[in-house]
Amino acid sequence: MTLLFSILAQTTGPTSTAPAVNPPPAGFQQLMQWAPLILIGLVMYVVVFRGKQSEQKKRQDMLGQLKRGDEIQTIGGVIGKVVEVRDDRVQVKVDESNNTKVWYTRNAIHRVVEADKVEQK
């Protein structure tokens, strides 16, 4: 009799009316495992490379707008006034007393010094 009850207990287990859920495909599971790493990579790309590209664009715009009379600072720290601007180089007056002028490539110009910053020094 116990044998009969054990057999009946095994065959009449809990029944579910919910449909069986198919597991997701193996490729999807692998993608979900790599998703955080891919997301971190995309964020790093946006922060590092896009930020640098926008800085380079601003620098190119600044170099393109150089004109006579602008006060500039070179990468080496020399401060002077622009005397002449050509396509690939800029002539800068670095000493008023001796009228010393030096040619610099456009890439050697670090920034245009604003007038209010010079007056504060």
What is the tens place of the pLDDT at every residue in 45-77? Answer: 888 888 888 889 999 999 999 999 999 999 999
pLDDT (mean) for 1-22:
62
86 falls in which pLDDT band (50, 70, 90)?
very high
Going from the C-alpha of 35 to that of each of 31, 40, 44, 106, the distances in angstroms are: 6, 9, 14, 44
Full-model pTM:
0.56
Residue 82 has pLDDT above 60, yes or no: yes
Q: How confident is the model at residue 1 (pLDDT cuts 50, 70, 90)?
A: low
Fold of 68-120: SH3 type barrels. (2.30.30)
Of 101, 94, 109, the C-alpha closest to 64 is 109
Confidence of residue 19 (pLDDT cuts 50, 70, 90): low
Position 96 scores a pLDDT of 87
Domain ranges in the chain are 68-120
How much is the average pLDDT of 18-42? 79
What the block records as the tokens of 29 is: 């599971």
Tell whether the model's pLDDT for residue 29 goes beyond 90: no
